[in-house]
Amino acid sequence: MATITATMVKELRVRTGVGMMDCKKALVASGGDMELAIDDLRKSSGMKAAKKAGRIAADGLIGVKVADGKGVMIEVNCETDFAARDSNFIAFIETVVSRIYNGESADLESILADGLEQERLALIQKIGENISVRRAEMYNGEVACYVHTNAKIGVLVLMQGGNEKLGRDIAMHIAAANPQVVSPADTSQSVLEKEREIYTAQAEETGKPAEIITKMVEGRIAKFLSEISLTEQVFVKDSDLKISQLLSQANAAVVSFSRYEVGEGIEKDTVDFASEVAQQLA
């Protein structure tokens, strides 16, 4: 049986907002599987969703270049915001973007092997922090982009039709609203099945008849799809328009999009300096 630590219970408490004892029971029941424990708590408590662990946990910048029917976006990480503002770090990002743009490939392994790795190692020595070229995306065609003013969020959109302004508006909306898919039809069956299972367990707690539960579940699925699908979201710049209507007015469509947020999904160690000093003095 897996050992359930206080740290695990604390993380589950932070991510779910559920009481400590309930978190511990859920972890015991799941054998220490954090994600399974979250699903079980959602079923039993009616909790809508859990916070993602380490959502913004590492520093760095997003780099983007769009020109001549091609768009490139990358994320490069460092350890502190101070290093992210270093001119050498910013120059390195521009170099990586150019290499990908000119090399016609977003394969980071091959890009790094072609001399860029030495530049990365030299930069580490120069600024004294670890540097990681985390991910890259490249689109060919009608590409639009948006980079938030602090370069911590970037969006690349592959369009059909429309114009430059529309493309930028769509990219800006994606940065703000964070959709997961272009349209409801793009949602994977595994995601739908998981949500349906959770909603069913929550609805069954009400004790209502099966036919009512079915309607409740399908209603929540429809709401879930409208929240995560770009085309079904309300345009952030005009609450009277859905994105699908905005695109229809311009006879345009979104083929694909990528949204990068610096550090999302990366766990970063936090240091309790007071405790560390106390331990050393002891």
**Where exactly are the structural domains of the chain?**
1-53, 59-182+245-261
pLDDT of 228-277, one tens digit each?
999 999 999 999 999 999 999 999 999 999 999 998 877 665 545 455 44
pLDDT of 166-212, one tens digit each?
999 999 999 999 999 999 999 999 999 999 999 999 888 888 888 89
User: Closest Cα partner for 144 from 127, 132, 154, 159?
Assistant: 159
CATH superfamily of this structure's domain 1-53? Ubiquitin-associated (UBA) domain (1.10.8.10)
Give dist(CA 235, CA 177) in Å, integer: 9
Q: Domain 59-182+245-261 carries which CATH code? A: 3.30.479.20
Tokens at residue 187, please? 């949602």
Backbone angles phi and psi of 60, in degrees to 5: 140, -160
Q: Edge-to-edge, what's the strand order for the sheet holding 253-261?
A: 142-147, 153-160, 253-261
pLDDT of residue 245: 97
* Whether pTM exceeds 0.85: no
User: 1-53 and 59-182+245-261 share one CATH topology?
Assistant: no
